[in-house]
A and B are shown apart, each in its own frame.
Chain A
Amino acid sequence: MASGERRVHLGYVEAFRLGYSHLLRRLDRSTLNVASIALGLSFYTSLLLTDTFYRTYSTLGGASLSVEATYYWLVAIALTVSVVGITNAMLISVQERVKEIGTMKCLGALDRHITLLFLIEALLQGIIGGIIGYAVGVVAALLTTGFTTGFDIILRVPVTQNLTLFVSSLVLAIVLGTAATIYPAYRASRLDPVEALRYEL
Chain B
Amino acid sequence: MAANAGNKIRNAKVVLLGDVGAGKSSLVLRFVKGQFVEFQESTIGAAFFSQTLAVSDETVKFEIWDTAGQERYHSLAPMYYRGAAAAIVVYDISNQASFIRAKKWVQELQAQGNPNTVVALAGNKADLLETRQVQIEEAKTYAQENGLFFMETSAKTATNVNDIFYEIAKRLLQGQPAQNPQAGMVLSQRPNERVVSSASCCS
Chains A and B bind each other: no
Interface set of A (CB-CB < 8 Å, partner B): none
